[in-house]
Amino acid sequence: MSVADMAHFREQLKTYGGFRTNTIALELMQLLFLRTVEIRRGRWEDVDLEAALWDIPAEFMKKRRRHLVPLPPRAVELLKELHSITGGRGLMFPGLRHPDKPVDGSTFNRALERLGMKGFTCHDFRATASTHLYESGLFRGEVIEIQLAHAEGNQTKAAYNHAQYLPERVEMMRWWQDFCLSAVNE
């Protein structure tokens, strides 16, 4: 997704007429570059808005490893708003028909289509973040890959290195937020 596409996405978010929860989910996907399933299954008990940290349990992650997600200020703001809508339930994004189950897997991609983002899927937010973060030259590859929740390819290294690089990731997520928000102004 180019900077122009990012600007188009952010402009379209302002006028989206669908459910506010879907708008929040899409913006969180851009800001946090989590997998769609991780957003959909999000539970309020795993989010600490005061600490600005989302601690996703291993059972909800693709690689079955706990994943810490530093929340930049805009994500905290969005999650506070979302909490006022769905905070009385366990799930952050409950389904309409079955509130005890997450929203359907295609919901957010359909919302993206309605925004006019033809040819893009929610997974593209991950590739976009990775590309722009690497191209910035500001962040180490290990830090970017940990934030993407990618597994270390070297099994020996993976067995011994449990570093989370949290201070660098907090800085990176704030930079990414600012980059996303500034795309509208370019």
- Domain residue spans of the chain: 3-185
pLDDT of residue 186: 52
Instruction: Tell me which residue of 140, 177, 179 sits closest to 28, measured CA to CA.
Output: 177
Rg (CA), the chain: 16
pLDDT of residue 156: 44
Give the global pTM: 0.87
Catalytic residues: 35, 62, 123, 126, 150, 160
| Count of all residues that appear for the chain in the document | 186
CATH class given for the domain over 3-185 = mainly alpha
pLDDT of residue 49: 95
pLDDT of residue 121: 87
pLDDT in tens, the chain (186 residues): 888 888 888 888 888 888 999 999 999 999 999 989 999 999 999 999 999 999 988 787 776 677 889 999 999 999 999 999 998 779 999 998 888 899 998 899 999 999 888 888 888 999 999 999 999 999 999 899 989 876 655 444 444 344 578 899 999 999 999 999 987 665
- Provide the CA 138 distance to its chain's centre, in angstroms: 20
Cα–Cα distances (Å) from 149 to 89, 97, 100, 110, in that order, read: 26, 31, 26, 25
3-class SS string, the chain = CCHHHHHHHHHHHHHCCCCHHHHHHHHHHHHHCCCHHHHHCCEHHHEECCCCEEEECHHHCCCCCCEEEECCHHHHHHHHHHHHHHCCCCECCECCCCCCCECCCCHHHHHHHHCCCCCCCCCHHHHHHHHHHHHHCCCCHHHHHHHCCCCCCCHHHHHHCCCCCHHHHHHHHHHHHHHHHHHHHC
